[in-house]
Structure 1
Amino acid sequence: MLTNDLKKHLEERFSFTIKSAQALRGGDINSVFHLKAKTNDVIVKVNKASVFPKMFQKESNGLTALRATEAIDVPEVLGYADYNSQTYLVMEYKPSGQINQEFWELFGQQLADLHRKTKEAFGFMEDNYIGSLPQYNRSAATASEFYREKRLKPQFQMAKDRGYEFENIEILYQKLDQIIPNEPPALIHGDLWSGNFLVNSNNKPCLIDPAVAYAPREMDLAMMKLFGGFDDLMYTTYQESFPFEKDWEDRMGLWQLYYILVHVNIFGGSYYKRAKDLIGYYV
């Protein structure tokens, strides 16, 4: 909730005068507001400080890492802090443009450019969040080790704690070294569904709400395909710029298993059966 007290604090900290505050749709975890000020507009995300510790600090670090690559547009983080019982993140406001055919070509090229940014090891500078769940990013030497230890195992344990049982998990773990290609780490968005990009005023893609890590690049593609919303031209352009490893399409379900498990642990329901079906396919 954007209280009057918090508004006053923001005005004092960021030296602007708020003319209006509009609540935006789509904030499943946080309350999101478009603040119109005399000098500039900003986006403010707000939550209770006790609910998700350091979430906005971690989101800020993820956005900053993506923005530093200059591969694709990302909102500038203006600041974050706890204030009284609330926590907030203030970002640059991005006016909207329109999607055209050139947009998808550019998106494919820029995502490929982002994925070329690499490190010696898989992981990230800190653990962060995937939606409302913790995401673990301690260093791993290989893609299969990272995916097994930092992605699948924590989600399977959470699911077990919630009463969901799975068979053949150990068999799946043993097969990962054979299935997953030995590619270097790539800087990925980490939660790239269609609700986590914008079209900026120059009709170019802009990434928001990341779950950043240096991870297998195919994970971004798998999340994109999981719920749709991306034109085929984007994949074609990506492939031309940064060709996929052999049999990449057959691995999409393997990467999607992580995101499906996240949904099992948040929503339950039909996602549970889908997760079991994916395990059955790969074992």
Structure 2
Amino acid sequence: MRLERLLGTGVEDVHDLGSSHSWTLRRASLADGREVFVKAARDQAGVFAAEAAGLRWLGEAGPGTPVPDVVAADEHMLVLPWLHSAPPSREAAERLGRELAALHIGNRPDVYGAPWDGFIADLPLDNTPDGRPWPAWYAERRLEPFLRLGARHLSTGDVRLVERVMADIETLAGQPEPPSRIHGDLWSGNVLWTGDRALLIDPAAHGGHRETDLAMMALFGTPHLDTVLGAYDEAAPLADGWRSRVPLHQLHPLLVHVALFGGSYRASLVEAARASLG
């Protein structure tokens, strides 16, 4: 069995957990007593390499970074520790806010992007390291490519609206901030509540703007979000006007959803683009 060869130990039991995008999900009990989570596919070398690299890189931000360890990875699978989930609590949310702030301001990268080829879901994500200011990087590396991918689901007016945001982004982006190590796909489904804390899984990690992670948490609803944000802002105060920039940072994930799932996300995208422009 491939998993046994990868881990160097026997596998006693495997439970099928279904699928996500183009990979299967399983829980495995190992002969050495460990339980692990296994994401597998016939050929997902780039996706699994990016996820493993991202988790390890986020972990380099400093002690207490809220990400799981990588047990093993190859071109066909990614193996993580099995994490027992629990209902979200205010205490865990407060801790998440502090730990996310520490991740964002600790051991910052020098440039935007990352030194590996990125993916968000199973779509390529341009991580070419880029020393330009964030607004130009965000427009060129995050908005424009996914606007092209999703354009078939949008009207000409919708495309022009997003292009207006891109043209005015220097004005809309707020005061400059240095790059942060960000999760990059921090919707509520990628926050795993484990009891006394929450861990971040399935990253599209890269050097980006820290407001992006917070905006993504708000996009589809994260439990106890006000508590997370309050603890975050206390630990690493956010720049004036950050709430007004939430729609700007949500444009990229919404364009990704339009590209992946079609016109059902069009109205949300248009609303965010209009709100970005004020």
TM-score normalized with structure 1 length:
0.88
SS where residue 39 of structure 2 aligns?
strand
After alignment, is 208-217 or 226-235 more displaced?
A: 226-235
Q: Is the 8 A contact 1:43 1:91 kept in 2?
A: yes
- Greater shift in the superposed pair: 173-182 or 153-162: 153-162
Letter in 1 for 2:100: L
**Cα deviation, residue 26, structure 1:** 6.7
What is the SS of the residue equivalent to 1:121? coil
Q: What secondary structure is seen at the aligned counterpart in 2 of 1:157?
A: helix
1:215–1:13 Cα change, 3 Å: closer
**What corresponds to 1:226 in structure 2?**
219
Q: Is structure 2 residue 120 aligned with structure 1 residue 130?
A: yes
Judging changes above 3 Å, is the alpha-carbon distance between structure 1 residues 19 and 260 closer, same or farther for their aligned structure 2 residues?
Answer: same
Q: Does 1:80 align with 2:73?
A: yes
Change in Cα spacing, 1:274 to 1:78, as seen in structure 2 (3 Å) is: same
Read off the aligned partner of 1:27 and give its amino acid letter. Answer: S
Aligned to 1:99: 88
Shift in alpha-carbon separation, 1:74–1:277, aligned structure 2, 3 A: closer
Rate the CA distance shift 1:97–1:281 in 2: closer, same or farther, 3 A. Answer: closer
C-alpha contact (below 8 Å) 2:153/2:266 kept by paired residues: no
- Counterpart residue identity of residue 214, structure 2: L
- Given that residues 98 and 199 in structure 1 are in contact (C-alpha distance below 8 angstroms), is that contact kept between their aligned partners in structure 2? yes
Alignment of 1:36-185 (within 5 A): 36-39=29-32, 40-49=34-43, 52-69=44-61, 70-82=63-75, 87-117=76-106, 118-140=108-130, 141-160=132-151, 165=156, 166-180=159-173, 181-185=175-179
Are the counterparts in 1 of residues 66 and 99 from structure 2 also a CA contact under 8 Å? Answer: no
CA 26–255 in structure 1, closer or farther in 2 if over 3 Å, else same = farther
Instruction: Give CA deviations for 1:84-134 in whole Å, capped at 9, x if unaligned.
Output: xxx111222223345332111100000000010312211111231111211
Cα distance change, pair 115–79 in 1 and its aligned pair in 2 (3 A): same
Letter in 2 for 1:119: P
In structure 1, the gaps of 5 or more residues are 1-7
C-alpha contact (below 8 Å) 2:21/2:122 kept by paired residues: no
Contact conserved, 1:72 with 1:110, CA < 8 A, in 2? Answer: yes
Structure 1's 34 and 145: CA in aligned 2 closer, same or farther, altered over 3 A?
A: same
Identical positions, percent = 30
Give ranges in structure 2 of 5+ residues lacking alignment: none
- Which letter maps to 1:191? D
State how 1:180-195 maps to structure 2 within 5 Å: 180=173, 181-195=175-189
- 1:181-209 CA distances to partner (integer Å, 9 max, x unpaired)? 30110111111111112233x62111110
Q: Which amino acid aligns with 1:154?
A: P
1:257 is aligned to 2:251: yes
Question: Which letter maps to 1:149?
Answer: E
8 Å Cα contact 1:198/1:208 also seen in 2: yes
Query: 1:280, 1:105 → 2: CA distance?
Result: 32
Displacement of 1:159 in angstroms is 1.7
- 1:240 matched to which residue of 2? 234
> TM (normalized to structure 2)?
0.90
SS in 2 for 1:43: strand
Say which SS state the counterpart of residue 36 (structure 1) adopts: strand
Instruction: Give CA deviations for 1:4-43 in whole Å, capped at 9, x if unaligned.
Output: xxxx232233222222111225734421111012211111
